[in-house]
């Protein structure tokens, strides 16, 4: 057991060590030319502004490295520039602690539930920075409740109960806060087919005939703005009558949208905002309007006319669930869906999409609505969800929640069961991924108007306190010191501004320091000074040289762990082999034994022998470059064969001129394994072989004697060859004779 623990400890130690090694910071600094370039090149990069830090011929990017490495290379700590991230609290009023929200002079002030109210972040790109946001649910915080009721005919008995609801609802809310207000709105659906019967009489009275108290069909109507007067609520609701429509789903989302975005009409204040939707049906959503030939998408804006009725009811489609969720969050309104049992699953699914919302089950006549609202409010107010609005591009935000003394990382700061007066703390970590202009966004608890305004600026410039008295001497009188390096006047360049470029611009001078546009300036191993490369010395003592700093005598090929195999010298990255050796790493003794053919030719004169092995040219293959699978076949030279061997054909008159490069011989028998067989101009077969001579464009041809060929053809014609019948063959028909047949 102890041995296993020992191995486990050793493995963990090695893993930790490996992580530390892998985690060492590096700075990609080859393109760095200034302190600002250095700071932008990586979040751990620092700049040494020490005047005598780099030596003659060394590049400016040597000033750029991690803080630890700059200190190791003797840069004084006071000369190291490393902009870090930090924040400044611009508005930081303390959280409210008393119920009456009064200051020392008994002057009433708005309660403060979020601290700080504004913060300035100065971020180094790539470096995380954290600050804290505190939240405390204040006592006696005002509550606005807007009651949004479905007035389709199936809600008839519910309306009778709601007409007496005002004072009891206010009494319940005033158990929570002394500043409670309630309002009322109603809805049914769009007044076009197939949602509503469009017969003129049915539009005026969409209810069953027996119902006398029935108002015309409508979409959404705002009835009562938020008020502290319960009697006024009862009076206005008492004046409402039931209405009706055709299909089961209602225009609930249209009504929610208008209730949310028409804030000046509804009267939403700086308060906890609750929207209570009561219905016994599901809801139409975006796209359903097309059934009634309504194609214009919902614009998410307020469209209440002078009578406070939704004027675009039959012109705009229903909003989408996403639109409604966004508008609720944008206006800090928390939704309570008070619905009957039959549609509870539908609104439970809706709750999952809309943050800070609750679902409660209504009794058949809505008699339990007050208790339902009270329970939903307690749930909503005790769950604190910290989130941000749309983030600017290039910024990331993460949260850690401290709800009860513990630390629970969360993508959104979430604390549950937060009672009135209990303080919770969220650590907000912000990262800027790149340099950017000033950006702003807001962070705050969902359902509350109070937010923390976050201003972000990135630190991408260096703040160097340079010794200006050193400018003249250090920069040859033609520049000024900027973070330890010379920033040259127009017409001068170089480490000390001592290169007068005259009529040449810097681009032309730099072009002289590289062989082509694809190669780094001075091969990345030197500094282009006044059009010439000043090569650096290698970190391991290598001497770098050449016109473009492209040579050193240590970067040649290695064989058997030896530079140039120990059989040569490295010169400008190439092995120069000693006498008797060859190869890119001088790894072979010179020999051509395995490259020679029987005729003494090396690689059939079609290649080069290196390391006693043929490297063939022109498509020929090792081992001796004899075969060429991809080369054209010699057999198509049939016209020359016909005139040379048989004195006929299309080239007969100028055969010598056209086929002089071919040497031919006629024989009685061919011994080649793969002879050419081509037809002549009269359709007869010619049989021959053809080979290249001495590696040149001369060919030797061996042709089967004409007489032998004619004899062969004759035998083919005269032979007793006739049609043969397979012994396995059986005819398709059989004749059978009847012995008793007499012909009569």
Give residue 687's pLDDT band: very low, low, confident or very high (50, 70, 90): confident
Asked whether the predicted pLDDT for residue 311 surpasses 90, the reply is yes
- Strand ranges inside 280-366, DSSP E: 333-339, 357-361
- Overall residue count recorded for the chain in this entry: 744
State mean pLDDT over 445-471.
Answer: 85
- 180-184, 203-207, 249-253, 256-260: the lowest-pLDDT one: 203-207
Whether the model pTM is above 0.85: no
Instruction: Please give the residue that has the higher pLDDT: either 59 or 131.
Output: 131
State mean pLDDT over 519-544.
Answer: 79
Per-residue confidence (pLDDT) for residue 672, from 0 to 100: 63
In order of start, what are the domains of the chain with their CATH numbers? 86-101+109-138+386-458 (2.60.40.1510), 143-382 (3.40.50.410), 558-589 (2.10.25.10), 638-714 (4.10.1240)
**Model confidence over 129-145: pLDDT tens digits?**
999 999 998 888 889 99
**Model confidence over 503-513: pLDDT tens digits?**
667 777 888 88
Per-residue confidence (pLDDT) for residue 731, from 0 to 100: 58
Asked whether the predicted pLDDT for residue 727 surpasses 60, the reply is no
State mean pLDDT over 174-186.
Answer: 90
Per-residue confidence (pLDDT) for residue 693, from 0 to 100: 57
Instruction: Please give the residue that has the higher pLDDT: either 256 or 165.
Output: 256
Per-residue confidence (pLDDT) for residue 408, from 0 to 100: 65
Q: Can you tell me the distance from the alpha carbon of 671 to that of 690, in angstroms, rounded to the nearest whole number?
A: 12
**Model confidence over 587-617: pLDDT tens digits?**
998 888 889 888 888 998 888 898 889 999 8
Per-residue confidence (pLDDT) for residue 21, from 0 to 100: 33
Percent of the chain with pLDDT strictly greater than 70 = 83
- Asked if 298 contacts 286 with a C-beta cutoff of 8 angstroms, the reply is yes
Tell me what the pLDDT averaged over the chain comes to: 83
Q: Where are the alpha helices (DSSP H) in 187-305?
A: 200-204, 230-238, 252-261, 263-266
Per-residue confidence (pLDDT) for residue 700, from 0 to 100: 52
Per-residue confidence (pLDDT) for residue 98, from 0 to 100: 65
Is the bond preceding 29 in cis, omega lying within 30 degrees of 0?
A: no
State mean pLDDT over 451-472.
Answer: 84
Read off the tokens for 476.
Answer: 């040859």
**Model confidence over 619-643: pLDDT tens digits?**
888 888 888 877 776 676 788 888 8
Question: Pairing state of beta strands 699-704 and 662-667?
Answer: parallel
Percent of the chain with pLDDT strictly greater than 90 = 35
Question: Pairing state of beta strands 613-616 and 607-610?
Answer: antiparallel
Q: Residue 222: beta bridge partners?
A: 185
**Model confidence over 312-361: pLDDT tens digits?**
999 999 999 999 999 999 999 999 999 999 999 999 999 999 988 999 99
Which candidate, 432, 465, 488, places its Cα nearest to that of 124?
432
CB atoms within 10 A of CB 313: 23
Which candidate, 358, 146, 138, places its Cα nearest to that of 236?
146
- Asked if 253 contacts 285 with a C-beta cutoff of 8 angstroms, the reply is yes
DSSP state of 45: E
CB atoms within 10 A of CB 737: 5
Give residue 108's pLDDT band: very low, low, confident or very high (50, 70, 90): low
Give residue 19's pLDDT band: very low, low, confident or very high (50, 70, 90): very low
């Amino acid at each position: 057991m102890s041995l296993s623990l020992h191995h486990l400890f050793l493995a963990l130690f090695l893993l930790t060590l490996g992580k530390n090694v892998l985690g060492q910071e590096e700075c990609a600094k080859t393109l760095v030319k200034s302190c600002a370039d250095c700071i932008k090149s990586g979040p751990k990069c620092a700049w040494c502004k020490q005047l005598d830090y780099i030596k003659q011929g060394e590049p400016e990017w040597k000033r750029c490295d991690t803080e630890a490495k700059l200190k190791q290379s003797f840069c004084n700590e006071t000369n190291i520039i490393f902009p870090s991230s930090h924040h400044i609290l611009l508005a930081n009023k303390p959280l409210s602690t008393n119920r009456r929200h009064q200051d020392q002079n008994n002057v009433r002030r708005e309660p403060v539930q979020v601290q700080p109210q504004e913060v300035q972040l100065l971020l180094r790109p790539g470096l995380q920075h954290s600050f804290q946001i505190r939240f405390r649910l204040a006592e006696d915080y005002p509550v606005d409740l807007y009651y949004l009721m479905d007035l389709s005919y199936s809600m008839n008995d519910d309306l009778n109960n709601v007409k007496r609801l005002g004072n009891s609802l206010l009494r319940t809310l005033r158990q929570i806060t002394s500043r409670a207000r309630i309002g009322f709105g109603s809805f049914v659906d769009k007044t076009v087919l197939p949602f509503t019967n469009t017969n003129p009489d049915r539009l005026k009275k969409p209810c069953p005939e027996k119902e006398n108290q029935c108002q015309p069909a409508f979409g959404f109507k705002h009835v009562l703005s938020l008020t502290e007067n319960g009697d006024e609520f009862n009076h206005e609701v008492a004046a409402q009558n039931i209405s009706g429509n055709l299909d089961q789903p209602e225009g609930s989302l249209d009504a929610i949208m208008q209730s949310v975005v028409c804030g000046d009409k509804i009267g939403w204040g700086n308060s906890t905002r609750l929207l209570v939707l009561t219905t016994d049906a599901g809801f139409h959503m975006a796209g359903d309007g097309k059934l009634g030939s309504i194609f214009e998408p919902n614009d998410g804006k307020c469209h209440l006319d002078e009578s406070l009725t939704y004027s675009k009811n039959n012109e705009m489609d229903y909003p989408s669930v996403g639109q409604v969720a966004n508008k609720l969050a944008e206006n800090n309104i928390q939704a309570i869906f008070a619905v009957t049992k039959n549609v509870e699953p539908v609104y439970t699914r809706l709750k999952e999409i809309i943050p800070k919302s609750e679902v409660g089950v209504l009794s058949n006549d809505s008699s339990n609505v007050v208790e339902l609202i009270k329970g939903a409010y307690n749930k909503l107010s005790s769950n604190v969800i910290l989130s941000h609005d749309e983030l600017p591009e290039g910024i990331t935000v993460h949260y850690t929640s401290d709800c009860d003394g513990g630390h629970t990382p969360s993508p959104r700061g979430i604390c549950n069961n937060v009672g009135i007066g209990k303080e919770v703390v969220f650590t907000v970590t912000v990262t800027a991924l790149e340099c950017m202009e000033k950006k702003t966004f807001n962070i705050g608890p969902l359902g509350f108007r109070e937010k923390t305004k976050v201003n972000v600026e990135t630190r991408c410039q260096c703040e160097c306190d340079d010794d200006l008295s050193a400018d003249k001497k250090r920069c040859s009188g033609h520049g000024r010191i900027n973070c330890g390096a010379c920033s040259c006047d127009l017409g001068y360049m170089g480490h000390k501004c001592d290169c007068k470029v005259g009529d040449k611009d810097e681009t032309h001078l730099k072009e002289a320091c590289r062989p082509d546009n694809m190669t780094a300036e001075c091969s990345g191993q030197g500094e282009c000074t006044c059009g010439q490369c000043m090569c650096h010395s290698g970190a391991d003592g290598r001497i770098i040289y050449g016109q473009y700093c492209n040579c050193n005598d240590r970067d040649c090929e290695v064989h058997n762990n030896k530079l140039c195999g120990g059989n040569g010298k490295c010169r400008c990255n190439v092995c120069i082999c000693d006498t008797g050796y060859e190869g890119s790493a001088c790894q072979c003794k010179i020999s051509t034994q395995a490259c020679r053919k029987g005729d003494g030719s090396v690689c059939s004169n079609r290649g080069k022998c290196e390391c006693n092995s043929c490297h063939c040219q022109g498509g020929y293959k090792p081992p001796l470059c004899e075969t060429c699978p991809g080369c054209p076949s010699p057999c198509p030279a049939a016209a020359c064969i016909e005139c040379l061997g048989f004195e006929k054909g299309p080239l007969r008159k100028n055969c010598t001129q056209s086929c002089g490069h071919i040497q031919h011989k006629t024989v009685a028998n061919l011994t080649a394994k793969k002879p050419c067989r081509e037809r002549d101009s009269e359709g007869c077969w010619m049989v021959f072989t053809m080979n290249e001579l001495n590696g040149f464009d001369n060919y030797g041809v061996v042709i089967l004697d004409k007489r032998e060929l004619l004899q062969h053809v004759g035998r083919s014609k005269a032979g007793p060859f006739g049609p043969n019948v397979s012994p396995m063959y059986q005819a398709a028909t059989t004749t059978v004779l009847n012995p008793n047949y007499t012909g009569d």
